[in-house]
Structure 1
Amino acid sequence: MDDVIYNYIQKQLSEVPMILNRRLSYNGIEFNSKYEFRKLKSMIDSFLNNESEERYFVLPGIRGVGKTTILFQCYEYLLKEKNFNSNDLLYISCETTNFAGESDIEKIIEIYLDKIHNTTPALLDKPVFVFIDEAHFDKNWAMNGKVIFDESPYVFLILTGSSSLHLNYNPDAARRLNILPVMPLNYSEHLNLKYNYRTDIQKDLFDLIFTGEVENAQEKELTIQKELLSLDNYPLNDWNIYLNYGGFPTTFNIKFEDIIVSKSWSIISKVITIDMGNVFNLNKNNQNLTYKTLVYLASQKLGEISHDKLSNYLDCSKTNINNIINTLEKTQLIFHSEAYGGASKKVKKPWKYNFATPSIRNCINKKFGNSAGSQSEYEGILLENQIASNLFNLSNNNVSFDFNVYYDSQKGGVDFIVQKSFGNAIPIESGIDDKTKRQVKKAINKYDADYGIVVSNKTDCIEKRDDMIFIPPKTFSFL
């Protein structure tokens, strides 16, 4: 087995430098970088300048969000800008080594150091960088990485894998590693990657939501609107394309809708059959139930989902449904919000589920159909999912933005209620076309809120009228 791993390592050391251009460009145009690469680049520089000892990073995220591209960008940066020898840069995929019956990160690195550098982790005397894709195929990835971290101050580790990576490590390993979740794209990231356009409006939108101050966000919004109009190759319907298909950078350069749907469905299928099948030991029967569960969730109008109702619909046990839903959440294909209120309400009320990006919901509905009565209603469903995704990603993956997201379980309640610890409730309603502000007004009074927010295409720019703030969907999606 050691020979198989060694042969694979040799293959990677010789081939990866040759395929970088192909993996990091399209039609001769180099891919732009995401925030996670820029963060890792700064940490690499700090390590090389002896300014930081942080050198164990984990990037969890669902398939298709660009994790492998980030690894190759780090590799290229070290090879071409820092002039590292390619033998000091190892990229491996544990999915590939798993097919050979071996996904032990510690053992792979020890073989690499022994055969290529004629040393051990403890005796290594120069920096080497190890990039490990699909690390979740090593069941003990966190501790194996920790062992290497502890044995050598010269090994810099970057691991990517299933979203479950951030759940699958013990406290001892947690003290060593740094987690950088890679999420589906918000509209800011979409514009950066696709058109090389950057904006820093996110913080201003966050301040708008939690303080009610709109001036800074209005100024940034006006600047963005003017700059997008003069942006080369920027189509006027780009945001609509993004809403339907823009969550994954892997679909950027695909022009045909049916191929985008097929590509997106392939991502979903791999999560179910490979990630859920191997990592969570989901058998074939439960994998089939998972497909049906996703189709059911995607086809429903947004609202609370009862596990009892779902188990009856799929003719399976509630225990099975609970397991499938929990596993889907661990992969972060879906996420839930709880009812706003006290502990008893959170326990008694069903949860409300959304997809990681409306691209997933749209892909499933394009493939299997949906129950929306009109195009306007369907667009409203996608918009609510987009808002939920923006809020969920912001609240769960960035320590700078600490708040909780709920849904309003009252009859005729608003779509979302967001709240900082010990802060007032802030009701948010989304809508297409004829949505009114009545629900938000009702929520403001009921929850003693200082103001409410309406995300609607009935406004072209951010407006504040008394205790109501109106935000265009396109602007909100920069959050």
Structure 2
Amino acid sequence: MEEREIKDFYFEWQQRLHSLVEGYLYDGEKKLLPTRSIFSEFKNTLERFISNRLEEHEKIILLPGIRGVGKTTLLLQILKIEKLISPADYFLLENLKKIEEIIYIDASFFKLNNISLNDFFNFYQHLNDFIFENLQKKIVLLLDEIHYDENWGLFLKSIFDSTKSHNNILVIATGSSAISLRMNPDLSRRVTIKEVFPLKFTEYLNIKHKIFPAAQLSEELKEIIFNSTKAEGVYKELNNRKSQIEKLSLNISSKIRQDYFETGGFPFTIKISRKTDAIELVKNVINSIIVKDIIPLKTFKTETISKINSLIFLLAGSGKISFEKLQQSLRIPEFRTLDSLMEVLVMSGLLVKVPSLGKSYVPARKTPRFLFISPTLRSAILDNFFSSDQEGTKLEDYFALLYQKDLKNKMSSELAYDISDGGADFILTGKDRKKVIIETGFGKEEVSQVLNTQKKVNGKYGLVFGSRDLTMVEDFTVKIPLEYLMLI
């Protein structure tokens, strides 16, 4: 494309961007929408970028994540960060001007106009009279839906290689095709991957109901519940915060919690009053994964692709289901085909794989558990119809989200489940390699599952989430009301 055409397009894009930003940053009353916790992480990233403290691999940050979790909103909030920082962000207030420009590009829109990222940024360098190799000013590139550019991996590799001599560029890129972002071979060891997850309950309270738990409460609860040395310490520290949590819980009705499980996992459902409409939009997320992420891989036959919705429904309706039963129900003859399909659904961000206790995963018949990355996904698939046996899977999905977002690689090195009958839902292995045994459920008072699993793993303590009262049982197990878990 001629430079003149790119120039005309660029100025048209700048005009369109204003109305785009308005729609993402403000509500119907022109009030700024709340930010999520990940926005605070990027405030810290910008501070370190300004002060030249980013590591080499942090120059390019990729943001995979299941469709609909708010990646575009996050980029546009970073674009207009000056509107969203408070007096507490004194470093950014004083130094934000050191960033010469923050530019936002939607690669899908550029694709429609036959403009590649490489062509555009060649034009952009010429327009601003610089080249990336010897950039003398700080620039942030926000690249949305980057996977729409066929050569996006090579483009980012080129940016990385050409800017090794300085710290003046920061690239933050999203892709709704989480599979593509994870599979690109050009970016090994050159990027930082920071996944964007569905909403936790505390984020839902913030955005939907303007309820703001104390900023440090979540971190304190995580440390107490999952990183104590023994059950007595968990019980004592939680008991010290009992009045604080009970007071906060007075503003959180059971309906609020139910609404969260059913439709509250995704930011785009927050403003939708009819649950049936919200459910259909969540189902569209799943359909988009199949059509836009899995089919383009050209890995599976049409007959296999046609069975994905049935596979997802079977997983949603079952607590534990074996590969053998899935193969029989779906009539997929090859184990490897089913196994590959499950792995792709994990890579897409839809599912979380939890291996069975004591088994490092190999393509064998011992089926891992596959949980959904948000209970809202399972609720949508089942149209909010849960049998009494299925209700507990909402909490298992929620714990999978907590693990992926807050515990994995931070406080824990592994999550597993006890495959045997009467075993616990989860075994969490800490950084110290010691295990915490976990059971979840609504109105959960029974501790036998925890004790059964303890006979095999010699854990440091057990947790039962869902009890009426905070209680310690036999110096090993702490029964914890659900509100403690939900406020993490």
Report the TM-score when normalising by structure 1. Answer: 0.86
- Per the alignment, residue 145 of structure 2 pairs with 134
Deviations 1:199-238 (A, max 9, x none): 3333333332342322334444532331353x5xx65521
- 2:188 corresponds to 1:186: no
- Per the alignment, residue 203 of structure 1 pairs with 219
How far does residue 256 in structure 1 lie from its aligned partner after superposition?
0.8
From 179, 192, 212, the counterpart of 1:164: 179
Cα 1:8–1:142 shift into 2, 3 Å: same
Query: In 2, are the aligned partners of 1:79 and 1:85 still within 8 Å (CA)?
Result: no
Q: Structure 2 CA distance, aligned partners of 1:174 and 1:76?
A: 30
- Per the alignment, residue 435 of structure 2 pairs with 425
From 443, 450, 471, the counterpart of 2:480: 471
* 3-state DSSP of counterpart to 1:423: coil
* 3-state DSSP of counterpart to 2:172: strand
* 3-state DSSP of counterpart to 1:237: helix
Pairing 1:223-262 to 2, within 5 Å after superposition: 223-229=244-250, 235-262=253-280
Cα 1:455–1:97 shift into 2, 3 Å: same
* 3-state DSSP of counterpart to 2:174: strand
Which letter maps to 1:11?
E
- Per the alignment, residue 56 of structure 1 pairs with 60
Which letter maps to 2:20?
I
Moved more, 332-341 or 34-43: 34-43
- Per the alignment, residue 325 of structure 1 pairs with 342
- Per the alignment, residue 87 of structure 2 pairs with none
- 2:307 corresponds to 1:303: no
Which letter maps to 1:268?
I
Deviations 1:305-347 (A, max 9, x none): 31x4323322234243223211111111012111112559995
How far does residue 362 in structure 1 lie from its aligned partner after superposition?
0.5
How far does residue 454 in structure 1 lie from its aligned partner after superposition?
0.8
Cα 1:444–1:124 shift into 2, 3 Å: closer
Q: Structure 2 CA distance, aligned partners of 1:425 and 1:49?
A: 40
How far does residue 83 in structure 1 lie from its aligned partner after superposition?
7.8
Q: Structure 2 CA distance, aligned partners of 1:345 and 1:12?
A: 49
- Per the alignment, residue 20 of structure 2 pairs with 19
- 2:390 corresponds to 1:378: yes
Query: In 1, are the aligned partners of 2:48 and 2:54 still within 8 Å (CA)?
Result: yes
Query: In 1, are the aligned partners of 2:100 and 2:137 still within 8 Å (CA)?
Result: no
* 3-state DSSP of counterpart to 1:30: coil
Moved more, 129-138 or 340-349: 340-349
Cα 1:133–1:392 shift into 2, 3 Å: same
Which letter maps to 2:40?
R
Unpaired stretches in structure 2, ≥5 consecutive residues: 85-92
- 2:354 corresponds to 1:337: yes
How far does residue 384 in structure 1 lie from its aligned partner after superposition?
2.3
- Per the alignment, residue 308 of structure 2 pairs with 290
Query: In 1, are the aligned partners of 2:443 and 2:468 still within 8 Å (CA)?
Result: no
Q: Structure 1 CA distance, aligned partners of 2:482 and 2:430?
A: 23
Deviations 1:225-255 (A, max 9, x none): 31353x5xx6552112112222111111111
Between the aligned residues of both structures, percent identity stands at 23
Which letter maps to 1:477?
M
Cα 1:297–1:14 shift into 2, 3 Å: same
Q: Structure 2 CA distance, aligned partners of 1:133 and 1:332?
A: 18
Report the TM-score when normalising by structure 2. Answer: 0.84
Cα 1:279–1:156 shift into 2, 3 Å: farther
Q: Structure 1 CA distance, aligned partners of 2:417 and 2:128?
A: 56
From 100, 116, 121, the counterpart of 1:109: 121
Query: In 1, are the aligned partners of 2:352 and 2:371 still within 8 Å (CA)?
Result: yes
- 2:313 corresponds to 1:268: no
- Per the alignment, residue 39 of structure 1 pairs with 41
* 3-state DSSP of counterpart to 2:273: coil
How far does residue 126 in structure 1 lie from its aligned partner after superposition?
2.7
Q: Structure 2 CA distance, aligned partners of 1:433 and 1:264?
A: 28
Superposition RMSD in Å: 3.1
- 2:81 corresponds to 1:77: yes
Which letter maps to 2:262?
N
Q: Structure 2 CA distance, aligned partners of 1:145 and 1:79?
A: 29
Q: Structure 2 CA distance, aligned partners of 1:285 and 1:112?
A: 46
How far does residue 132 in structure 1 lie from its aligned partner after superposition?
0.8
Which letter maps to 2:309?
Y
Query: In 2, are the aligned partners of 1:201 and 1:217 still within 8 Å (CA)?
Result: no
* 3-state DSSP of counterpart to 1:276: helix
Q: Structure 2 CA distance, aligned partners of 1:345 and 1:147?
A: 36
How far does residue 278 in structure 1 lie from its aligned partner after superposition?
3.2
Unpaired stretches in structure 1, ≥5 consecutive residues: none
Cα 1:341–1:463 shift into 2, 3 Å: same
Pairing 1:348-359 to 2, within 5 Å after superposition: 348-359=365-376
Q: Structure 2 CA distance, aligned partners of 1:110 and 1:427?
A: 55
- 2:379 corresponds to 1:362: yes
* 3-state DSSP of counterpart to 2:416: strand
Query: In 2, are the aligned partners of 1:383 and 1:473 still within 8 Å (CA)?
Result: no
Deviations 1:87-141 (A, max 9, x none): 9433222233334455x43333223333x42443235443332211112233543
Which letter maps to 1:177?
V
Moved more, 18-27 or 203-212: 203-212
- 2:413 corresponds to 1:400: no
Query: In 2, are the aligned partners of 1:136 and 1:165 still within 8 Å (CA)?
Result: yes
Which letter maps to 2:206?
N
Q: Structure 2 CA distance, aligned partners of 1:449 and 1:272?
A: 40
How far does residue 37 in structure 1 lie from its aligned partner after superposition?
1.6
Query: In 2, are the aligned partners of 1:106 and 1:145 still within 8 Å (CA)?
Result: no
User: How many residues align structurally?
Assistant: 462
